[in-house]
Amino acid sequence: MARRVIIACDICETEPATSQQFGFGEAKFEVDVCLEHGSALQDALQPYIDKGRVPEEPRVPGVRSKATGTKSDSMTKEIKEWAKAKNIKHNDNPSSDINQYNESH
């Protein structure tokens, strides 16, 4: 049995919408947004993405991190796909920009 799930925008209830994730402080959020509100979210975050930096990772004594920059790979991938779907162009290093965004929120 085929089932189709249609997502509505959490802001205006327009269909279809896509789920977007973002972080702020220690919290991660997911919101379903239509094209218009997806653009509004992008516009609101872009200045901070542009100016964001990668914070130093907290070090836990006795625990060695296996690799750096892998913590948020799945979220990075989602944002990359989102940016690609929306044809958002980044400067020279898109993954760097996205990592900065992820790490700084």
Q: Report the residue number, 18 or 95, with the smaller CB distance to Zn ion.
A: 18
Q: Report the residue number, 34 or 98, with the smaller CB distance to Zn ion.
A: 34
CB of 11: closest distance to Zn ion in angstroms? 4
Q: Report the residue number, 18 or 104, with the smaller CB distance to Zn ion.
A: 18
Q: Which residue is nearest to Zn ion (CB)?
A: 9
CB of 75: closest distance to Zn ion in angstroms? 22
SS3 string, 62-96, reads CCCCCCCCCCCHHHHHHHHHHHHHCCCCCCCCHHH
CB of 56: closest distance to Zn ion in angstroms? 37
In the complex, the residues that contact Zn ion under the rule CB under 5 A are: 9, 11-12, 14, 34, 37
CB of 98: closest distance to Zn ion in angstroms? 23
**Rounded to the nearest 5°, which phi and psi values hold at 59?**
-100, 130
Q: Which residues pair with 55 in a beta bridge?
A: none
How far, in Å, CA of 25 to CA of 103, rounded? Answer: 10
How far, in Å, CA of 28 to CA of 102, rounded? Answer: 10
Q: Report the residue number, 14 or 104, with the smaller CB distance to Zn ion.
A: 14
